[in-house]
Structures are given as C-alpha cells and as structure tokens.
Amino acid sequence: MNKRILFIVLQLICFSITKAQEEIEAPKTQEMKLRVPEEEPLPYIWNYTPSIITAKKKVLSEIDMTVPANRVLDSVFYRRRRPGSFFDIVFDMLRQGKVRAYPVLADTVVLPLKSIRKMLDSAGYISTEKIIVSEEWLYDNSNLRTVVKLVWLAFVTKVDDKTYKPVIWVLYPYIRDELKKYKVVTYEDGKLRLNVFLEGKFFKSNVIGELH
C-alpha cells in the first residue's frame, strides 16, 4: 500500500515539474517567432505575419545622392577589390539580365533586356543624382512600433533641373542577396553591409508621396 502511494506521489511530482517546464518554455518559443535576426537592423523586418500588422501604408521617398550621408553609396567595397558604386553593382546585374526590371511601379510588364541596355548605355540618360524608393510602413501592434519594409528601387532620368522621372523599377528582394556581398563605410556607424545600410535606413531621404 505504501509503495502504491509513493508511486502516485512520484507521478504527481513528475507531472508538476513537466508542467512548470512547459510554462517556462512557452514564452521563449513565442518570443523567438517575433525576434529579428541579429544581423538585421530593427527598422527592417521582412517576414512579418499579417496577423500582427494592424496598419499599413505605401510611401515613396527620394534619396538625394548629393547629401553627404548618401555619398557613401559611391564607394562600395567587395573584400579587397577597388571600390565601385551602388549604381555600378545594380546596373551590371541589369545588363547581364540577372534581375528583372519594370517600366512602372508594378510587376506586370517586364522591360525587355534590349531596352534596359539601351537606357543604361545612353550617356547621361540615367541620372545618378537621385534614387526613388518605395517602402511599406507597417504598424506592429504586438511591439507598438512602426517598422519599414523596403520593396522597390527606381532609377531615374532627369527631365529638368527639378524634375526626375523613374524609368527603371527593380524589386528589392531580387537584388538583396547580391548587395549582401558588399560593404559601405559610414561616418557614424563604420562598416555596414550594403543591404543593412539600405534596410536600416542609414541613408537620408525625403517622403515625396503616398500610394493608395
């Protein structure tokens, strides 16, 4: 009889310990689902699930390459190679057909490779003074903060002294893996991977419109 009681008591103790461990581990598992990878900056979170987003808007911003904070994109490093520019990297991908490009802000009509090469090879047609970016501003209700998701990049042609027209649109996810190979050197933050520089909004930009 005493052995049976002892057996039941031991079973209850084991059950209590197991239950306590589950209660301790549960919050950790939930936290891991929302945690940003360490190599990515907090403002950029790519794989958010729709259930925790309570508001979203699409914003167009302009990166002025004459601003000192943005000039670092003119000197991009790859290991020990001589520095090139952000434009050189993306234009090379476009010329080789490694990435799709679009004439407008939509992935419906693809620019023919022949048209892309013609624009890139026409001296002065593509301006390196401005870059247009399309971002999604997402309000994360679980953390009570707004995060930014970089979606599109546009390369422009200069119409007049104050007007620039986007002529080549590129989806950022298509070039992200290539950009991760390169680094830029900033005045305040030292060396950063090129994708981190863009995704973390280390550049200076002005909002020029909102898409509906």
pLDDT tens-digit series, residues 51-92? 555 567 888 999 999 998 898 898 887 766 666 889 999 999
Domain locations in the chain as residue ranges:
1-35, 39-211
At residue 37, the pLDDT reads 31
Quote the DSSP letter at residue 82.
P
pLDDT tens-digit series, residues 141-174? 766 677 788 899 999 999 988 899 999 999 998 9
Q: Is the pLDDT of residue 108 over 80?
A: yes
| Contact assessment for residue 88 and residue 180, using Cβ atoms and an 8 Å cutoff | no
Question: What is the model's pTM?
Answer: 0.71
The set of long-range contacts for 68-72, using a CB threshold of 8 Å and a minimum separation of 24, is 68/187, 69/186, 69/187, 69/202, 69/203, 69/204, 70/203, 70/204, 72/184, 72/185, 72/186, 72/197
| Contact assessment for residue 41 and residue 200, using Cβ atoms and an 8 Å cutoff | yes
| Contact assessment for residue 64 and residue 208, using Cβ atoms and an 8 Å cutoff | no
